């Protein structure tokens, strides 16, 4: 009798499972559909760049299938890397980005720690204010910055215009507010008892920051680092406005300025230059990706 | 090792008075438990001793020195937090040695102390693990280890067992008691759990609304509470409070609980209570274990009465019965073999030798 009742009840369960797995299958199909859509959308430009970079100027202007290389050549790479100019752009970009990341992290980590933990008069307002400055469009800052540079020149005699190192001063206006905002969120998610325990253990504020907060918030710091590196590596408008001499240019502006002569576009080298220029962020992402994802999802679950 | 003294300690947050003048003397090596409902100021008091909260008034002294303005690290205290507060990126050894490293203790001394503390707490094999690889109970041990290695004057515990499940909590409670018996450091322990307070403490401090209600040994508080709050807070199930009136009848003092039920006041207490005859707002306090099933042999001050039982809760070793007397729910503890059934009348016995008479207007036990 018992066996019979089990047998009678049995069919209901597999049906349930089947409907669940069918749901899952459909979810997977839709996921793949959109993933493929995104991959195609985002990978087409770099693939096109890569294909074009392997073509000679003649082949690029020829009316052939643009998605195929008939006579592959490395001449674009040889010419670009053979000329000193491109390497100067690259060097300028690299120094500026590394310095901007260092400056940004130094300012934003300490600022975020103060704003998140040391309750002082106006700290909450200040924290919101930091974020609001991020919402100011870059282009609005040009004229005030020009004015300030002129003022510095008039009072101290230091010329800030047309130097690549000036960008190290300018870029943090873009990167510091957002990085600080990320770090405030991170530090705020660290339980208060942790700094109280450190305080009782005898740590100073500085030791609490360096020995507890920075290691614990490492994913956030890496997220902020990647962000500020990307901002300074890809920045176009500021260097276009503030640097003019060919030896002071950074990569994005340098490629456009030196490889577009009047209405002559050296497409092969432009594509090669852009492709090589995209390599450093790509390499950094690849190395830090695991941390980056951990950084974006931290706080979602109880640590 | 040191005594801790609190003199008229006050904590104000803007308009709210969290602690309203606490006086307390904690002896060297003593285990003191601050207990009370949430918001009674017990945690704030502990945090003021730790130096994590500034005091708004009064004095706190540790080992005879007033520490009002001394930062936490210089008070020579160690604290165990409810959520453990272990440093997640350090392993157990590093967690325990962090404070000693900051004090520039020699490396071999650090190792000796950590190993010793690990031995006391039985966590030697966990020293290489990270906090996330530990269970709740193990984390709590490490948190205690971090406190022990520093060999402080005072241990402060802030609800250290509240995050553990019931079984582990009982186990860790015993551990804490054992550790205290080994290291004999003055300890201040905060909990909202009166069972924890009773089992751990040398003396219990019951707090309510920012004030100390009563300080005493667990047995003192249980048997001789001085306020209705303490009487009701200590003990589980809680003490029964039954509204009553005292009346003189034929030369004897009696408590009238309702129209039908009136019990004679024990002779030993008649003199003490007689002046309250006829006064309003009196409450009889009687613990559930002093209401049992009626038995053949009657001791002095024991009185039988009939009640209709409303709820029966078998607990195994005893059975709890609930009934109502003039609007107050009353709990009794009867023998599991006694025939108690919901909706049926039962002959019960009140042992009035352990009764308390409470003035409900002042909340004081008379």
Closest by Cβ to A202, choosing from B50, B79, B103 = B103
Q: What's the angle, vertex CA B127, arms to CA B126 and CA B131, rounded to 5? A: 70
**Residue B312 burial by Cβ neighbours in a 10 Å radius (0-12, 13-18, 19+):** middle
Same domain? A120 vs A209? yes
How close does chain A come to B93, measured CA to CA in Å?
A: 14
In a domain, A284, yes or no: yes
Q: What is the CA radius of gyration of chain A?
A: 27
Give Cα B94 to chain centroid, integer Å: 34
In a domain, A68, yes or no: no
Same domain? A36 vs A94? no
**With an 8 Å Cβ cutoff, are B98 and A201 in contact?**
yes
Contact status, residue B182 vs residue B75, Cβ threshold 8 Å: no
- pLDDT tens for residues B176-207? 898 899 888 999 999 998 899 999 999 999 99
* Comparison of pLDDT for A51 and A63, the residue scoring more: A51
Report the alpha-carbon distance of residue B46 to residue B154 in Å, rounded.
11
Report the alpha-carbon distance of residue A72 to residue B308 in Å, rounded.
101
Has the ipTM of the complex gone over 0.85? no
**With an 8 Å Cβ cutoff, are A198 and B88 in contact?**
no
How close does chain B come to A238, measured CA to CA in Å?
A: 40
* Comparison of pLDDT for A98 and A136, the residue scoring more: A98
Question: Does the structure show a pLDDT above 90 at A173?
Answer: no
Report the alpha-carbon distance of residue A2 to residue A6 in Å, rounded.
6
- Using a CB–CB cut-off of 8 Å, the residues of B that contact A are 50-52, 71-73, 77-79, 81-83, 85, 87-89, 98-99, 102-103, 132, 146, 150
pLDDT mean over A208-214: 91
pLDDT mean over B219-225: 92
In a domain, A171, yes or no: yes
- Secondary-structure percent of chain A, ordered helix, strand, coil, rounded to 5: 80, 0, 20
Q: For residue A141, what is the domain's CATH number?
A: 1.10.3720.10
Closest by Cβ to B73, choosing from A199, A212, A303 = A199
Same domain? A48 vs A156? no
Same domain? A17 vs A87? no
What 3-state DSSP class applies to B286?
Answer: strand
Best mutation target, A186, A202, A206, A207, to test chain B (most B CBs within 10 A): A202
Q: Tokens 């009140």 identify what position?
A: B350
- pLDDT tens for residues B112-166? 999 999 988 889 999 999 888 888 888 988 998 999 898 899 999 999 888 888 8
pLDDT band at residue A37 using 50, 70 and 90 as cut-offs: very high
Q: Tokens 């970009």 identify what position?
A: A93
Same domain? A35 vs A100? no
Sequence-distant (6+) residues with CB within 8 A of A251 are A89, A90, A92, A93, A233, A273, A277
**C-alpha closest to that of B238 among B285, B281, B305:** B285
Q: Tell me, yes or no, if A214 comes closer than 8 A to chain B by beta carbon.
A: no
How close does chain A come to B146, measured CA to CA in Å?
A: 9
Report the alpha-carbon distance of residue B153 to residue A120 in Å, rounded.
32
Question: Does the structure show a pLDDT above 90 at A66?
Answer: no
In a domain, A145, yes or no: yes
**Residue B165 burial by Cβ neighbours in a 10 Å radius (0-12, 13-18, 19+):** exposed
Closest by Cβ to B78, choosing from A194, A200, A212 = A200
User: B6: which strand partners?
Assistant: B24, B60
* Average pLDDT of chain A, as a whole number: 85
pLDDT mean over B225-239: 91
Domain limits at A37? 2-53
- Secondary-structure percent of chain B, ordered helix, strand, coil, rounded to 5: 30, 35, 35
In a domain, A63, yes or no: no
Give CA separation, B164 vs B147, B152, B160, B169, B197, in Å.
19, 25, 9, 6, 16
- The chain B residue lying nearest A196, using CA atoms, is B52
**With an 8 Å Cβ cutoff, are B73 and A216 in contact?**
no
- The chain B residue lying nearest A217, using CA atoms, is B89
Same domain? A199 vs A245? yes
- pLDDT tens for residues A98-119? 999 999 999 999 999 999 888 7
* Comparison of pLDDT for A293 and A130, the residue scoring more: A130
Same domain? A10 vs A95? no
Which H/E stretch holds residue A98?
A: helix A84-117
List CB contacts (< 8 A) between A200 and chain B: 50-52, 72-73, 77-79, 99
Question: Does the structure show a pLDDT above 90 at A126?
Answer: no
Number of domains in chain A: 2
Q: Tell me, yes or no, if A129 comes closer than 8 A to chain B by beta carbon.
A: no
Q: What percent of chain A has pLDDT over 90?
A: 32
Which H/E stretch holds residue B244?
A: strand B240-249
pLDDT at A4: 47
Task: Tally the C-alpha atoms within 13 A of residue B256's C-alpha that lie toward its C-beta.
Answer: 15
Question: Does the structure show a pLDDT above 70 at B324?
Answer: yes
In a domain, A71, yes or no: no
- pLDDT tens for residues B242-268? 998 888 877 788 888 888 888 888 888
Tell whether pTM > 0.90: no
Which H/E stretch holds residue B61?
A: strand B57-62
Q: Tell me, yes or no, if A206 comes closer than 8 A to chain B by beta carbon.
A: no
Same domain? A255 vs A212? yes
Question: Does the structure show a pLDDT above 70 at A16?
Answer: no
Report the alpha-carbon distance of residue B336 to residue B320 in Å, rounded.
9
pLDDT at A17: 57
How close does chain B come to A108, measured CA to CA in Å?
A: 22
Query: Of A91-105, A132-146, B18-32, B311-325, which gets the smallest average pLDDT?
Result: A132-146
Same domain? A135 vs A243? yes
List CB contacts (< 8 A) between B46 and chain A: none
Report the alpha-carbon distance of residue A67 to residue B223 in Å, rounded.
92
- The chain B residue lying nearest A218, using CA atoms, is B89
pLDDT band at residue A209 using 50, 70 and 90 as cut-offs: very high
Same domain? A281 vs A161? yes
DSSP-derived letter for residue B231 is: H
In a domain, A60, yes or no: no
Q: State the SS3 of B182-229.
A: HHCCEEEEEECCHHHHHHHCCEEEEEECCEEEEEECHHHHHHCCCEHH
What is the per-residue burial (b if ≥16 Cβ within 10 Å, else e) of B95-117? bbbbbbebeebeeeebeebbeeb
Sequence-distant (6+) residues with CB within 8 A of B85 are A191, A193, A194, A196, A197, B143
Best mutation target, B79, B82, B134, to test chain A (most A CBs within 10 A): B79
pLDDT at A147: 92
Same domain? A47 vs A158? no
* Strands of the sheet with B319-325, listed across from one edge: B311-314, B319-325, B328-334
Report the alpha-carbon distance of residue B41 to residue B48 in Å, rounded.
10
pLDDT mean over A194-206: 91
**With an 8 Å Cβ cutoff, are A197 and B79 in contact?**
yes
pLDDT at A14: 52
- The chain A residue lying nearest B131, using CA atoms, is A303
Question: Does the structure show a pLDDT above 90 at A262?
Answer: no
pLDDT mean over B306-317: 91
Same domain? A275 vs A181? yes
pLDDT at B79: 92
In a domain, A7, yes or no: yes
pLDDT at A136: 83
Q: Tell me, yes or no, if A207 comes closer than 8 A to chain B by beta carbon.
A: yes
pLDDT at B104: 92
């Amino acid at each position: 009798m018992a066996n019979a009742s089990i047998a009678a009840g049995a069919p209901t369960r597999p049906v349930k499972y089947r409907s669940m797995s069918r749901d899952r299958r459909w979810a997977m199909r839709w996921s793949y559909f959109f993933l493929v859509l995104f991959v195609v959308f985002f990978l087409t430009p770099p693939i096109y760049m890569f294909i074009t970079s392997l073509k000679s100027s003649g082949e690029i202007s020829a009316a052939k299938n643009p998605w195929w290389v008939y006579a592959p050549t490395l001449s674009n790479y040889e010419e670009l890397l053979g000329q000193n100019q491109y390497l100067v752009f690259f060097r300028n970009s690299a120094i500026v980005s590394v310095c901007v990341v260092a400056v940004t992290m130094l300012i934003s980590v300490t600022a975020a720690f103060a704003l998140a933990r040391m309750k002082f008069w106006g700290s909450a307002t200040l924290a919101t204010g930091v974020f609001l400055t991020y919402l100011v469009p870059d282009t609005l800052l040009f004229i005030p910055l020009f004015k300030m540079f002129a003022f510095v020149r008039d009072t101290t005699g230091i010329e800030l215009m047309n130097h690549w190192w000036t960008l190290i001063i300018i870029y943090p206006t873009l990167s510091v507010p957002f990085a600080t905002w990320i770090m405030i969120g991170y530090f705020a998610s660290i339980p208060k008892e942790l700094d109280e325990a450190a305080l009782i253990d005898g740590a100073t504020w500085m030791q609490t920051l360096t020995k507890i907060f920075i290691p614990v918030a490492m994913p956030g710091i890496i997220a902020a680092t990647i962000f500020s590196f990307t901002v300074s590596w890809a920045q176009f408008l500021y260097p276009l406005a503030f640097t003019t001499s060919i030896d002071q240019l950074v990569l994005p502006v340098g490629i456009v300025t030196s490889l577009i002569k009047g209405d002559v576009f050296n497409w092969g080298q432009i594509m090669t230059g852009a492709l090589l220029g995209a390599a450093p962020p790509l390499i950094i992402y690849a190395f830090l990706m695991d941390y980056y994802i951990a950084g974006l999802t931290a706080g979602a679950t109880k640590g | 090792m040191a005594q801790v003294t609190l003199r008229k300690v006050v904590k104000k947050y803007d308009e709210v008075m969290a602690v309203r003048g606490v006086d307390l003397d904690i002896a060297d090596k003593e285990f003191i438990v601050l207990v009370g409902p949430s918001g009674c100021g017990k945690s704030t008091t502990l945090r003021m001793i730790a130096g994590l909260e500034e005091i708004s008034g009064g004095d706190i002294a540790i080992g005879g020195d007033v520490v009002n303005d001394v930062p936490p690290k210089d008070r020579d205290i160690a604290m165990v937090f409810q959520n453990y507060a272990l440093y997640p990126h350090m392993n157990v050894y590093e967690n325990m040695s962090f404070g000693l490293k900051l004090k520039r203790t020699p490396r071999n001394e650090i190792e000796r102390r950590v190993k010793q503390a690990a031995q006391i707490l039985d966590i030697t094999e966990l020293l290489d693990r990270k906090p996330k690889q530990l269970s709740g109970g193990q984390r709590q041990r490490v948190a205690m280890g971090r406190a022990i290695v520093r060999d402080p004057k005072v241990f402060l515990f802030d609800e250290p067992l509240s995050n553990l499940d019931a079984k582990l909590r009982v186990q860790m409670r015993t551990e804490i008691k054992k550790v205290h018996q080994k290291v004999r450091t003055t300890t201040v322990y905060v909990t909202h759990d009166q069972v924890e307070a009773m089992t751990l403490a040398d003396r219990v401090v019951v707090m309510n609304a920012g004030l100390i209600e009563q300080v005493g040994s667990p047995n003192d508080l249980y048997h001789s509470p001085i306020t209705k709050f303490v009487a009701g807070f200590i003990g589980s199930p809680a003490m029964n409070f039954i509204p009553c009136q005292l009346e003189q009848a034929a030369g004897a003092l009696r408590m009238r609980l309702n129209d039908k039920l009136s019990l004679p006041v024990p002779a030993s207490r008649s003199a003490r209570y007689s002046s309250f005859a006829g006064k309003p707002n009196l409450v009889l306090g009687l613990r559930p274990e002093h209401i049992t099933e009626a038995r053949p042999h009657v001791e002095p001050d024991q009185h039988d009465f009939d009640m209709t039982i409303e709820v029966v809760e078998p607990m195994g070793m005893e059975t709890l019965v609930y009934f109502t007397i003039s609007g107050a729910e009353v709990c009794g503890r009867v023998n599991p073999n006694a025939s108690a059934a919901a909706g049926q009348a039962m002959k019960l016995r009140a042992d009035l030798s352990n009764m308390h008479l409470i003035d409900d207007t002042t909340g004081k036990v008379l």
